[in-house]
Structure 1
Amino acid sequence: MGRNGSIHTIVLVLVMLIGFGAALGWPQYEKHRTLVAAQKALDIGKSLAFAEASYKARYKAYTPDFELLGEALPCPVERAEGKIEMVCKDYTFSLAEGNLVRVAHKSYPKWFDINIDEGSIDCSHEEGSLVGQHICARVDLAGSNN
């Protein structure tokens, strides 16, 4: 009976250690996943901005319909309530204010504005948004896949 109790104790300790490790590791994993998704969304937004600049050079205007850019799009374009957006898992992409590619997160109050004319990127978030602050502080705005 002493051995049986020892095995149960060892199993209980192992289960507790695994649970404790998962409890500490899961938030870090989620932060990393959120940053990877933000960087990917930013890279897609940069590609859209480049395609919009090429489109404007040909047709003298930007288009809110990304399907007209002649590029393979990673997500479907949706048209609803007078808005045209490319909708991905975590982010939506749209043409805002005529010359901005807006990359907005679906759940968090955070977005990237890519100014096509100036070639600048602004990472913005609502005041007090810890997730927005964290993402804007950690994402590489200058890095480019283009």
Structure 2
Amino acid sequence: MVLGQRGSIHTIVLGLVIIVGFGIALGWPQYQKHKTVASAQRALDLGKALAFAEATYKTQHGAYTPDFAQLGLALPCPVVRDGDKIEMECSDYVYRLEEGGVLRVQHKGLPKWFDLDLAKGSVDCSHEDGSIAGSHICSRVDLTGAAQP
């Protein structure tokens, strides 16, 4: 009698482990997508704050500055200087000022980026052709009014 009950308990526990395993296996990719989109939205929000600070800096000094440390913001990530290249490197994104007053927010691992045109006040979410992750992020991130100073 005890052996029969013990076998059924093991079967039930094994069944529960299999069900939980399938649940995790099916839910994990969705969780990763949500996490990536949330990170992209935070990167865009920081890019927006940098764009506003750059616009203020330009009115005071007559030009944009590639050195984000001079903007007077509390920066969440370190500014890295490598020769003539100045970037702010965060965990997932790199921020740099390109020629022509374009603030580029580029993902470190995915072929995806945001271009904030400081003069026009526009945002472009771009990705390489055929990049499923890039198109997924660009379709989910809210770009409305992102660079309007």
TM range (shorter): over 0.9
> How far, CA to CA, are the matches of 2:39 and 2:14 in structure 1?
37
Identity %: 63
Partner of 2:96: 94
- In the other structure, the counterpart of 2:113 is 111
Superposed structure 1 runs of 4+ greater than 6 Å apart? none
- Looking at structure 1, the residues matched to 145 and 58 of structure 2 have their Cα atoms a distance apart, in angstroms, of 24
What is the distance in 1 between the residues matched to 2:35 and 2:116? 22
**Which one-letter code corresponds to 1:12 in the other structure?**
L
Residues 1:3 and 2:14 are matched in the alignment: no
Secondary structure at the aligned position of 1:44 is classed as helix
Q: CA RMSD in A?
A: 1.4
Rate the CA distance shift 1:143–1:24 in 2: closer, same or farther, 3 A.
farther
SS at match of 2:115: strand
The two structures have a TM-score, normalised by structure 1, of: 0.96
* Structure 2 runs not aligned, ≥5 long: none
For the residue of structure 2 that corresponds to 1:141, the secondary structure is coil
TM-score (norm 2): 0.94
Distance in structure 2 (CA, Å) of the matches to 1:101 and 1:32: 25
- Find 2:65's aligned residue among 63, 66, 70: 63
* CA distance in structure 2 between the partners assigned to 1:108 and 1:42 by the alignment: 15
Does the alignment pair 1:79 with 2:91? no
